[in-house]
Amino acid sequence: MNSLDPRAPLVLDTRELGRRPGSQRQVVVTVPAPSELGIEVLRVAEGSPVELDLRLEAVMEGVLVTGTAQAALVGECVRCLEPIDEDIVADLQELYVYDDIRHDASDEDLDDETRKLEDDLLDLEPLLRDAVVLALPFQPLCQDDCPGLCIECGARLAEDPDHSHEAAIDPRWVGLQALQPDHPKD
């Protein structure tokens, strides 16, 4: 029984390749982004367009998918919390093995990580999710030298580079201020 819906935007039909090694097909399509495509602070908005430029190539074991995915990212800078709007291009490459090929016992460990075709259909969503998340910066910034926020008052330091506060006086030394000659006595 097939669990993939051939009408789903990220499901591709490979029957036209005919399981003839060397046969290939170019696929250029724009699909809506699946939910939760990214990390907590930077992601592709659900339903936004993802442009796929793919080559499907039949090989002995299955279908090799190579290409790119391009999408717009939304999120916030981890230092100053300003919005980030930029594009990402993620490289895609994955071998989808035919579901009727027998694997020997030594391949059992690979079965969890091996992507399989189901009735000559392949699901791009897991590949797209992995490629986009790996292409994202670990600590997204609005600019490479973002100074962040003031730790005392939360002011955005990029807008006020000369921002400062008077040096805080340690409460244990406050009594010594009365000994200064120019300090008014209480």
In a domain, 181, yes or no: no
Q: Which residues, other chains included, contact 60 with Cβ-Cβ below 8 Å and sequence gap of 6+?
A: 21
Q: Which domain holds residue 24?
A: 11-135
Range with the poorest average pLDDT among 54-63, 83-92, 112-121? 112-121
When divided into structural domains, the chain yields a total of 1
What is the rounded average pLDDT of the residues 65-82?
93
In a domain, 107, yes or no: yes
Residue pLDDT, tens place only, 133-145: 999 988 899 888 8
How many H helices and E strands in the chain? Answer: 1, 9
Give the pLDDT band of residue 103 (cuts 50, 70, 90): low
Over 93-114, what HEC string results?
EEEEECCCCCCCHHHHHHCCCC
Please report the pLDDT score of residue 184 as a whole number.
58
In a domain, 158, yes or no: no
In a domain, 162, yes or no: no
- Is there a contact between 62 and 22 (Cβ–Cβ < 8 Å)? no
Please report the pLDDT score of residue 102 as a whole number.
58
Give this prediction's pTM. 0.75
Range with the poorest average pLDDT among 11-15, 48-52, 178-182? 178-182
- Continuous H helices in the chain: 125-135
In a domain, 179, yes or no: no
In a domain, 47, yes or no: yes
